[in-house]
Amino acid sequence: MKLNISLYIPVYNGESTIESVLKSALQLDPGADEIIIIDDGSNDQTKEILKKYKNKIKIIKNETNQGLAFSRNLAISKSKHQLVASIDADVEPEKKWLLKLYETQKNLVALFAEVDCLKNTKIKTSIICGDIYTGHRILLVIK
């Protein structure tokens, strides 16, 4: 089953967690069609860890730390799919998490609120925050 979902993971100095998070994200079943990592100016070993996965993920680097909101907006604007999911750099999703999230959003479309998410753009987005299956903070955006 193909979900046509982009998954992004913002990270800042995540050397202690990012590799295990990436391994979990790459083992999602079904998986994300695109995994975007936003390295928000890390100055630890995060960059070296990400390089090991450069053929499997899209890496966006902020030269300096711009903050979580900036990184989220950047990831959403660079994603190729209408559905965009997010996990934090210290969250290892369960194998079926993305499928559960996808099925949840299909049932909740009528409850989404339209908001201007990206400053100075005409992109309208709908957002689900929270994951009822794992309790982790997530973000699902419909562009």
State pLDDT tens for residues 114-125.
333 444 444 444
pLDDT in tens, 39-65: 999 999 999 999 999 999 999 999 999
Alpha carbons 65 and 69: distance in angstroms, whole number: 11
Of these ranges, 84-88, 112-116, 135-139, the one predicted with the greatest mean pLDDT is: 84-88
Query: What is the average pLDDT across 72-76?
Result: 91
Residue 90 has pLDDT above 60, yes or no: yes
Instruction: Give the confidence band of 105 by pLDDT, cuts at 50, 70, 90.
Output: confident
Total of domains in the chain: 1
Identify the domain containing residue 131 by its residue range.
5-142
Token pair for residue 38?
A: 């936003």
pLDDT at 107: 61
User: Could you please report the per-residue DSSP string of the chain?
Assistant: ----EEEEEEESS-TTTHHHHHHHHHT-SSPPSEEEEEEES--SSHHHHHHTTTTTSEEEEESS---HHHHHHHHHHH-SSSEEEEE-TT----TTHHHHHHHHHHHHGGG--EEE-STTS--EEEEEES-TTT---EEEEE-
Predicted TM-score (pTM) of the model is 0.79
**Confidence grade of residue 96 (pLDDT, cut at 50, 70, 90):** very high
Q: Of 83, 76, 84, whose CA–CA distance to 118 is shortest?
A: 76
**Residue type for 10, please?**
P
Q: Cis omega (within 30 of 0) on the bond before 93?
A: no
The pLDDT-based confidence of 6 (bands split at 50, 70, 90) is very high
**CATH number of the structural domain spanning residue 134:** 3.90.550.10
